[in-house]
């Protein structure tokens, strides 16, 4: 079950990271060109993906037996630009069933 959960988390991590970068661009457009529609659409979408990322990270951490430090670093990945991409790559390189 962890592999299915891990796959779901990796997809969510990539979607969350992409929405975060798109939201940063939309924020620039909002304040640089007075066009708020991108933020109005991407803000709630990114918020939902962020919440899903955090919930899935905690769920996966408990099932996979991650150390507290590992869980913390994965959660930091949600608040850094490109962080979700780094977390996805880290998960892809781990041997199946690896913990910690």
Task: List the structure tokens of 90.
Answer: 């880290």
DSSP state letters, the chain? -HHHHHHHHHHHHHHHHHHHHHHHHHHHHHHHHS-THHHHHHHHHHHHHHHHHHHHHHHHHHHHT--HHHHHHHHHTTTSTTHHHHHHHHHHHSPTT---
pLDDT string in tens for the chain (100-residue length):
568 999 999 999 999 999 999 999 999 999 999 999 999 999 999 999 999 999 999 999 999 999 999 999 999 999 999 999 999 999 999 865 565 6
Q: What was the pLDDT predicted at 94?
A: 82
Q: What was the pLDDT predicted at 3?
A: 87
């Amino acid at each position: 079950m962890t592999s299915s959960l891990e796959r779901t988390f990796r997809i969510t991590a990539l979607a969350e990271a992409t929405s975060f970068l798109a939201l940063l661009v939309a924020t620039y457009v909002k304040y640089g060109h007075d066009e708020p529609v991108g933020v109005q659409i991407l803000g709630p979408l990114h918020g939902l993906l962020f919440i899903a990322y955090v919930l899935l990270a905690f769920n996966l951490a408990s099932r996979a037996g991650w150390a507290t430090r590992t869980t913390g670093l994965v959660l930091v990945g949600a608040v850094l630009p490109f962080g979700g991409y780094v977390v996805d790559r880290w998960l892809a390189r781990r041997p199946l069933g690896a913990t910690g």
